[in-house]
Each structure stands twice: as structure tokens, then as C-alpha cells.
Chains A and B, each alone.
Chain A
Amino acid sequence: MHLDIVVQVLIQILLVIGLSRLIGLGFRRLNQPLVIGEIVAGIMLGPSLFGMIAPNVAAWIFPPETIPFLGVLSQIGLIFFMFLIGLELDPKYLKNGLNVAILVSHVSILVPFSLGALASLLLYPLVSCDGVSFTAFALFLGAAMSITAFPVLARIITENNLQNTRLGALALTCAAVDDVTAWCLLALAIAVTRYNNMIAAIPTIIEAIAYIALMFTVGRLVLKQFAVLYDRKGKLTQTVLASIYMVVVISALITELIGIHLIFGAFLVGVTMPKHPGLTRELAQKTEDFVLTFLLPVFFAYSGLRTQVGLLNRPVLWGLCAIVVAVAIIGKYVGTYVAARVSGVEKREASALGWLMNTRGLTELIVLNIGLSLNVISPLLFTMLVIMALVTTFMTSPLLEMIYPKQQIRQNQINQPDVSDQYHVLVPIANPTTQRGLIELAMSIAIGNSSNAIVTPLSLIQLDQDYVYESLPSEANRQIALTNEKLQALIQTLEPADYRHLVRPIVQVDRDVARATTQIAMRDRANLILVGWHRPAFHSNRLGGRVGELLTMAPVDVAVFVDRHSTKLENLLLPYVPNLHTDLGLELALRLLINRDQTRLKILRVQPFSELSSEFNALLDRLPNRVRRRIDLPIVEASSPIQAVIESSEFADLTIAGASREWGIERQTLGRYTDELAEACRSSLLITRRYSQVASHLTSILEVADEKPV
């Protein structure tokens, strides 16, 4: 069947975008940057997998006559991606310890560059052709070994909440310096490759330097006008956007004519654009969506079609590949570590910095594709270097966690109070403006006459995508500051005012809210996670989604609050079923009773659950009289226990129910929650799920209650 070229290319793009998202998200679940998954998806579509298992189908889907079209699309994608990288390179990254950054980044380039040049002595006779001079080959291999991926590194730093630590600030500065230096080195390598010797490339190098100087002087002044226009209109109009894009393309064409590469012109425009916060943000947001979701996966596929892991078909070639990977890792890590130590950085930080700088990601892929297009590297070496890029990027996150665990990060941030001895309620907050009731309930449970308690509203800013502008450290900090502001404003309205200082929010970036909440709960030894119920987006299950994940995975007692927006907490209802989840419900109810003198509790016993367990009775016996007399224990006969509870909830401000099948809120074997009570309850509802049978929520508070005069 013969299809029109446009139709074929569109089918390819459909396949590329779909697979790239799918594999990318798979890698996200492995705590890896999305970009690794996208690169792997591109490789899978090429001869390495698809071509290997179904060569005829692969040849039909990717016929040779369509590849140039993918090439053009990927070049356009690269031009605008490089413009985005330049746009993100804010001079403020260069304000943190510039001397250390220059030394570390330059040594971290020079060491792998030198090792790359030495490796050329081995690789050139084996994997190169005589049309390529040794100098060009060595220069290119050295440049390829020297790359650090600033964009990937910046996202890894944000995701690990390192942006406000010494290490994060230093790594960002180093990566920024590294980025600029490595691109200059690559431009030199391209110029030398095109003329096959250093001397002939000198005019090109001089022209490139002159153009860079022009862009940083006249160009910068011209580009400043875009900021003026932006301020005048208050937004980025389509005309201004079109003008900026034209400038990007013109600059790309100029650098191509000079004899370096299209991408440098685009990168230069990005770097020299005025760093006006509003303009930069809007420009990045308007540009990135299409570039990152559509054009960049096409580049990965184009690159993947040229990657042939099957070429490594002898042990000796895998040996050479291992040498390439080892040279890259040793060069980057050792260079960074030694330079950092010479600059006075501590061992642990120097080591973490070494692994961060070893990230090569997508930037490496850009360099390699240029090398392959110029024929300076052969398909075999290209494949080895792609494997190196994947390995070095893949290893960053786990090594960073091993060397510089999140506990250590926390120690390097300021004003972290010690919460180990206090009764601690952790409250994940999605929206500070609508979850006031949740924080108030947490305060009522935690804080009474004893101030030995703390409530931690936890707001996690989720980064779903890797390269979006919002995931840059500076942007993440802006979002953190905004959320903090909202939380502080909310805290200032909480009553009683004397206890506001016991509400200490945590705001940070994380990809996986449930996992992060669990980790923070364990780290800060929270006694309870109090989470607000929300309607999941993709199923009707009320206790699914993130709430479900927390109920399933948190090794801490969890309570889910279904808020019916009643501000009172005077009448509590606890339907009794003999199980440990109900025991937790009772403990929380008793905390409310002890902390609030006006609160009453009705423990509803519905047949056949009229017999209180011995533990339950023992607990009631321990209560001081002033608390005990505010507890009623009615027994009701009902054909349907749940119906009896629903009817009683009409007269309650808060119903507290242990997660159990009697109330239709038990975890089912197939991962579904039923949620009958959550749906039908007429008061606010607190669903409790006990994790630890030994943890008590009453130990500290009963002592205080005993001391209090009746």
C-alpha cells in the first residue's frame, strides 16, 4: 500500500508522540527524568528494537524518503529548544561563587576532554574513516565527553528540592558556565570538522566570535525593545511573538552561514533576550508546549532511527563501549570532584556535584546528531555515545539520593524545627484557600491546653513534566513563595491566635504527592496524616486517587476528612464496630473531647455490635470524669447498621468512622474502595485507618487531662 508522504509523516509523528509520552511516563515512575524515556522511545522505534523484531514493518512505517522530513522537523524543534535553553540561562545563576563555578565547570570539561582526546588514539583507527582528520575526531570526541545537560540538571535539582541549598546553587552555576563553555567548544569542533584542520577553521572561529560580540552588544539593545513592548501591552502579543521567532530563525541562519551550526544562533538569541520575568515566562510557556510535546519527540525519533544498538555485535565492541562510558564518567566525576575539593567544597557536596555534572541527557544527543550529520563520528561510535548519554543521565538520580539523601538536604536548609517529641499531625493541602476546615480540624485534634503538639500543613507542588519553564529552580521558588504566602495568610486567621505558631507549613516540590507525603511523615515522625477527601479525576471511587494511595502506602495512621463545611465540632458521632480502625477513631474523638470542653461524643452501638471490646472499655475507664461524662453510649436496633449511622449523622457535626466493611469503606481485594458512608453521611465525616497497633494518640494528652482541675 502506497501512502502520500505527508500522510506517512503524520502517521510517524502520531506513533512517535504516543510512544514517547508512554515510555517517558514509565521512566517517571522509576524516578527518572521524562527525557530519558523519550530518548529510549526514539531508540525503540529505530533499528535497535522495532527494526530488529519487524524490519519490514519498520521499513514500511519509516521509509527512507520520509526521513528528511523528520530531519527538517527535528531541526526546527532543536532550534527552538536551544532558544528555550538560552532563555532559561539567567545571569543570576552566575552570582553564586563564580570563582568556584568557573574552576569546577572548566576542570570538569577539561578532564573528560583530555580523556576523550586520549581515547581517540584507540578509537580513531577502529571506528573512523579516512575522510575525517584525527584532530577533528579528537576535538569532537572530547567535546562530546565534556557535555553537561543544564536543562536536565536544573530539573533534577528542582525535583530534589536542592535549589536553596549550597550544593544546588553551586551545581546550577557550574552547569550554566559549563553549558556556555561546552557550546563554544562544540562550535570550535564543528568549524574544525568542516575544514578538517585547525588553521582553515580560524576565519570561521573569528566570524563566530565577532557575531557573539555583536549579539551581546547591538543584539541585546535591539532585543530589549521586546521587553519595552511587553510592558506597554502588558502581554505578549502574537505580532511580538512572531517577531521574536523571526529573530531566532534569522540568527540561526547567520550561524549556519558562518559555518558553525543553526542551533548556536537560536541559543544566542535566547541568552541575549532581556530577562524580564513576565516576558520570559510568557514567551517560554507559549513556545515550550508545542516544541516539547511535538517537535522534540520527533528529534528523539530521528535520532533513534540513526541509533543501531545491533551494531555492537561483538564482545570487543561492547568493550569499546564500556571504555567510552567509563571515560565519560571518570572524566566528569573526577574533574568535578577534584576541582570542587581544591575550591574548598566538602567531600559529600563535591561528590554529589560530580554526579550532577555527569548528567548528559538531551544536550549530548544534540551534539551527537550534529557529529553524525557531519560524518565526524560513525554510526557505531554514535550508538556507543548515545548509550553513554543514557547511562550517565540514568545514574544521576539514584547516586544523588545515595550520596546526598533528602535527610541531608533538609539539614542544609534553614529554620527546620525539631518535631520529634511533639504530637504531630501532617496535613497534605492541595489548595490553602479551600481547605481551611481541614487545618482547623487538625488543630482541634492536635492542640489543646498542651502546646506540645504541632500541625504541619504540607503543600507539595507537583511537577508533571520535565522541561516546562515552571520546573526551573527560580520558577519553582516563585511558586513555593506564592503558596507559602497563601498558607501564612490562612494561618494568621486561625483561632486561637496563641496556637498559630504551632502551625508550621512545609512547601516543596515533588513529583509523587503520595510518596512524598509518606516520606515526610516518616522523616518527621508524624503521628497522624490528616488528608482532605477529593473527588478523583478518573474514577468515581471517592477513596481512590491520592487519598487511596496514602491509605494504602502510608506507614502512619491516616484519617480522611470529608468536609461538609460545618464549622462546629460540638457533637461527635462514632459508630462502633470492634476493630482497630474504630479504636483510632475513638482516640481522635477523645483528643477532641479533651481539647474542647464544649464537645460531646456519641458512641453509637448498632446491633449486633453492642458489646464494647475490653480494650475499648479499658480506654474509657482511663478517662478523667470531666471527659467521661460527655460521652453517650446509646444502642440502636436496626436492620441496616449503615442506615442507622446515616440517620444519626443528621444530628452530628462530625461522624468518625473506622475503615470497615460495615460502613462500606473497606479496601477491597481488587484495589477498589467502596465509599457508601462517605457518600451518604449527612455530617462532615472522618474516616480513620490505623497502621500501627502500638501507637497511641492519647498518651501525652491524658497526662495533661489528668492534671487539669475538674
Chain B
Amino acid sequence: MKSLFSAKWLTFYGSTIAFVIALFSVVTNYGEANLKAQPKISGRYKISAAELPGCLKGKDLVLSIEQSGVYLNGSLLETSHSTQEQTASRKKPSLMGTFRQPNLELSGTLAQIEGCANSAIALQSTLNQSTLIGKLNFDNTAIDFVANSESIKK
């Protein structure tokens, strides 16, 4: 072992700390200036559409979205779903997708909707403030929809 705080020790220790501080400054300055994360859009969106196709016909739907940056998970639920059913859907979301402002894409199955028996669904939309406007592809039919945020999670 070397004697306490030798010249070699101080040089190595000092230069390591100086290097890390400099590196961190460069990285944070670059990151703050050039890197942008996505806005937060997690929450529940009440879907309005002129005429929902197939098994969705006549149902009041809510799109629940969980977000981690650009990656989304979610579920399509009925407004009548109990708290327990909503919790269960969050534990096992049936939709996955991405959000790169302003475009949002989600696809998956309708695991939570009664009578739809895991049918496939896809949503493409754009986010305008707290409203999603886009197309819903289901049962070989594409329809326009609008979804308004019930409350955006902070």
C-alpha cells in the first residue's frame, strides 16, 4: 500500500474529479440545449366518435394511457368499468405504442371490452393541447375519433 495521500494519489484523485466535473458540465449543457423529452400525456381520454364499429357500437369508451417518455401502454375501457376493473387494466395494459409529439400511435387488443373477445384495434392520432384527434382502425373499418382528456396526470 502507498503512504497516505502521495503525489501520485493526489494527481490521480484530482484529475479524476476534474475530468468528471468537466464531463458532466459538457453533457448537461449539451443535453439542456439539444435534447427534448416528450410532454406528459398520461391519463384518461373520453372517446367521441360518430358511429363506433362492430362490438364497440353504442359503448361509451375511455382510453387510459400510461407513459414512459416516448413509450406508451394503455387500455380501452368502458366508462361503466368499476375501479377494480380499471386497476386491473393498468396492471395488464392491452395496448402499446409510441408518442413523438404530436403523433400518437397505439395498437393491441380489446381485452377489457365485453363482447369484443380480444379483437385487434389500432389508433393513430395527433395531440392538440389536451385533445387527441385521429383515426381508429377496428373490424376492417377506419373511423375518425376525438378524445378529450379527463385529467392529465401531473
Contact = CB atoms under 8 A, between A and B. Distances in A.
A340 to B, nearest CB: 11
Contacts of B31: 120-121, 124, 134-135, 137-138
B23 to A, nearest CB: 5
B27 A121 contact: yes
Given A114-B23, A378-B68, A100 B1 contact: yes
B5 A130 contact: no
A98 B3 CA distance: 10
B57 interface: no
Nearest to A113: B20
Interface string B86-102: 01111111001000000
B69 A103 contact: no
Interface string B72-91: 01000000000111011111
A167 B4 CA distance: 18
Contacts of B73: 310-311, 313
Interface residues of A, number: 56
Interface stretch (B37-45, B46-54, B122-130, B131-139): B37-45
Contact of A97 (B1, B66, B84, B96): B1
Given A55-B91, A344-B1, A138 B27 contact: yes
A342 B35 contact: no
A315 interface: no
B71 interface: yes
Given A117-B24, A134-B32, A380-B68, A129 B38 contact: yes
A379 B66 contact: yes
A265 interface: no
Nearest to A382: B68
Contacts of A124: 31, 35, 37
A286 to B, nearest CB: 38
B148 interface: no
B28 interface: yes
Contact of B1 (A117, A313, A343): A343
B67 A378 contact: yes
Contacts of A64: 83, 87
A409 to B, nearest CB: 19
Nearest to A56: B88
Contacts of A134: 28, 31-32, 35, 37
A380 B70 CA distance: 10
A9 to B, nearest CB: 16
Interface in B1-30: 1-6, 8-9, 12-13, 16-17, 19-20, 23-24, 27-28, 30
Nearest to B31: A134
Contacts of A135: 28, 31-32
Contacts of A52: 91-92
Interface string A96-125: 011110110011001001100110110011
Given A100-B1, A120-B31, A343-B2, A130 B84 contact: no
A200 interface: no
Given A47-B92, A380-B71, A56 B20 contact: no
Contacts of B4: 98-99
Interface string A32-72: 00000000000000110001100110111011100000000
B40 A131 contact: yes
Interface residues of B, number: 46
B94 to A, nearest CB: 10
A465 interface: no
A313 B96 contact: yes
A128 B3 CA distance: 46
B2 A344 contact: yes
A106 B5 CA distance: 14
Contacts of A107: 13, 16
Given A106-B13, A134-B32, A378-B68, A59 B87 contact: yes
Interface in A122-156: 124-135, 137-138, 142
Given A47-B91, A99-B4, A344-B1, A129 B36 contact: no
A55 B20 contact: no
A130 B38 contact: yes
A100 B8 CA distance: 12
A381 B67 CA distance: 11
Interface in A342-363: 342-345
A126 B70 CA distance: 5
Contacts of B87: 59, 62-64
B71 A114 contact: no
A130 B36 contact: yes
Contacts of A59: 84-85, 87-88, 91
B68 A379 contact: yes
Given A55-B89, A134-B31, A138-B28, A117 B23 contact: yes
A103 B10 CA distance: 9
A98 B19 CA distance: 23
A64 B96 CA distance: 22
A212 interface: no
A339 B9 CA distance: 10
B38 A51 contact: no
B96 to A, nearest CB: 6
A180 B83 CA distance: 43
A267 to B, nearest CB: 24
Nearest to A96: B1
B71 A317 contact: yes
Nearest to B70: A126
Contact of A342 (B8, B85, B88): B8
Contacts of B20: 110, 113-114
Contacts of B16: 106-107, 110
A447 B23 CA distance: 68
A130 B68 contact: no
Nearest to B93: A310
A411 to B, nearest CB: 19
Interface in A625-684: none
B37 A130 contact: yes
A327 to B, nearest CB: 14
Nearest to B154: A131
B91 A114 contact: no
A58 B86 CA distance: 12
A276 to B, nearest CB: 29
Given A103-B13, A106-B13, A125-B35, A56 B8 contact: no
Interface centre among B1, B6, B9, B37 (most CB of A within 10 A): B37
Contacts of A106: 13, 16-17
A223 B91 CA distance: 46
Contacts of B5: 99
Interface of B: 1-6, 8-9, 12-13, 16-17, 19-20, 23-24, 27-28, 30-32, 35-40, 66-71, 73, 83-85, 87-93, 96, 154
Given A62-B87, A124-B35, 7 more contacts: A55-B92, A56-B88, A103-B9, A118-B23, A128-B37, A134-B37, A313-B73
26 contacts: A52-B92, A56-B85, A58-B88, A99-B5, A100-B2, A103-B13, A106-B13, A114-B24, A117-B27, A121-B30, A124-B31, A124-B37, A125-B35, A125-B70, A132-B37, A134-B31, A138-B27, A138-B28, A314-B71, A314-B96, A344-B1, A344-B2, A345-B1, A378-B67, A378-B68, A379-B68
